Amino acid sequence: MKSIRVLAVIEATSITGPAKNLLQFARMARSGGAQPLVEVSIAAFHRPHEPDLFLQAARQMSIPVYPIPEAHRFDARVIGLLAALGRSLQPDVVESHAVKSHFLLRKSGLNRLAPWVAFHHGYTWPDLRAQLYNQLDRWSLRAPSRVVTVSQPFQRELIRHGVPGARIEIVHNAIEPGWGTAPQAPAELRAELGINPAQKVILIVGRLSGEKGHLALLRAFGQLVDAGTRDAHLLIVGEGPERGRIETAIRHLGLSEMATLTGQVPTAEPYYGIADLAVLSSFSEGSPNALLEAMAARVPIVATAVGGIPEIVADRASALLVPPWDPDALCGAMRELLANQALARDLTARAFELILTRHTPEARARRLVAIYTAALASQERYSS
């Protein structure tokens, strides 16, 4: 069978979770990780003076990438540019990532050019513009041939919004089993960050946005310190709109000497190399890359039992899971894992086994190629 040509539409300036997954799949699918081969081209919206880390990463991997210039977030000219690009490339399948790309792909008419696979990564609500796009998604996602989401709760939410259940596929994210070999010496990184070699590092990786629960984690960490755990250091990796509130909470809780914010980093891999514990304190999640990263890096995990997290790890089998919005439970789980090294070793071993058996890029690529193939077959049946 001939290869499948896919045009992927995404808004990405940095290497976010969806961007990372798209690049990973594009590399895997063209190398024979799944059959038939898939050749991915990427259309990425880009505004002047914005970071172009995603564009750079795609080019370094020799993935064809087409910047779609836009003057501002609601620049209507991108609709025509997107349509023209589709007519030029004539892909077999078009796909979109997240709410803005869904809306603009449907408005451009690319869904009439080829079967459309839409990747739903969940919703955030940082401002009115994002909320508007989220509402528009109810219109956008009724048109794709397939909607790929990352957890059962997200699937149920899509069905409530009118997406036919038969079109929805659940595909969890993936990670290379060898991920997590830190390229930087742990002692050197600790020295750069001003973290004492004797301190236990509690790591959280992710966008600094409300749904990630950083403020609840800070309250739990403050309780941990107040209860006598003075040798812990909280390391917060990522950037986002909640940074100001997080910095204020750190000062208010008297944790300035015990918490560090790194800002945006090219990769979180070195930070797992110095972590004694990884935490996901989210109130909403899909299939979080930070969870898979901790599993691959063999760092013990405390996470909230939300979204797709319980579909990936199980409480007291491969992680400790706690309710969301519960700093007391979060504090207790962190204290237990820091104190019980035998439990921590057991959890990390079982979590790594799950990476090997369920969450490799090859397995994810095979699943996605099967979805593309089914979408093409459905279109052929309908056309005939």
pLDDT at 121: 87
CA 144 to chain CA mean position, Å = 22
Q: What is the DSSP string of 211-252?
A: GG-HHHHHHHHHHHHHTT-TTEEEEEEB--TTHHHHHHHHHH
**From residue 63, how far is each of 13, 54, 293, 365 by CA, in Å?**
16, 11, 24, 16
pLDDT tens digits, residue range 33-92?
678 999 999 999 988 888 888 999 999 999 999 999 998 877 899 999 999 999 999 999
Identify the CATH assignment for 186-358 out of 3.40.50.2000, 3.40.720.10, 3.40.50.2300, 3.10.20.30.
Answer: 3.40.50.2000
pLDDT at 183: 62
Rounded to whole angstroms, how far apart are CA atoms 277 and 298? 10
Neighbours of 58 (CB within 10 A): 26
pLDDT tens digits, residue range 264-311?
888 899 999 999 999 999 999 989 999 999 999 999 999 999 999 999
Q: Which two tokens stand for residue 310?
A: 């319980």
pLDDT at 362: 92
Rounded to whole angstroms, how far apart are CA atoms 216 and 334? 13
Contact 284, 211 (CB under 8 A): yes
pLDDT at 1: 57
Q: Is the pTM of this model over 0.85?
A: yes
Per-domain residue ranges for the chain? Answer: 4-174+360-383, 186-358
DSSP 92: S
Helix (H, G, I), strand (E, B) or coil at 139: helix
pLDDT at 53: 87
Q: Which two tokens stand for residue 149?
A: 């989401």
377 exposed, middle or buried (CB, 10 Å; 0-12, 13-18, 19+)? exposed
pLDDT at 135: 80
Residues 6+ apart with CB under 8 A from 60: none
Strands lying side by side in the sheet with 200-205: 259-263, 232-237, 200-205, 277-280, 301-304, 320-322
Instruction: Compute and round to an integer the Cα radius of gyration of the chain.
Output: 21
Comparing CA positions, the residue from 102, 199, 183 lying closest to residue 146 is 102
Sign of CA dihedral 353, 178, 197, 200: negative
DSSP 291: H
pLDDT at 200: 97
Alpha helix (H) ranges present in the chain? Answer: 17-30, 53-60, 77-89, 99-108, 128-140, 152-160, 186-193, 214-226, 243-252, 269-272, 289-296, 309-312, 327-339, 341-358, 361-383
Domain covering 4-174+360-383: architecture: 3-Layer(aba) Sandwich (3.40)
pLDDT at 384: 40
Q: What is the pLDDT along the chain (384 residues), one digit of tens a residue?
A: 589 999 999 998 877 778 989 999 999 888 876 789 999 999 999 888 888 889 999 999 999 999 999 988 778 999 999 999 999 999 999 999 988 899 999 999 999 999 999 999 887 655 666 667 678 888 899 999 999 999 999 999 999 989 999 999 999 999 999 898 766 688 899 999 999 999 999 999 999 999 999 999 999 999 999 999 889 999 999 999 999 999 999 999 999 999 999 998 888 999 999 999 999 999 999 899 999 999 999 999 999 999 999 999 999 999 999 999 999 999 999 999 999 999 999 999 999 999 999 999 999 999 999 999 999 998 765 544
Q: Looking at 150-209, which runs of residues are DSSP E strands? A: 168-170, 200-205
Is omega for the bond preceding 67 within 30 degrees of 0, making it cis? no
Q: What is the DSSP string of 328-355?
A: HHHHHHHHHHHH-HHHHHHHHHHHHHHH
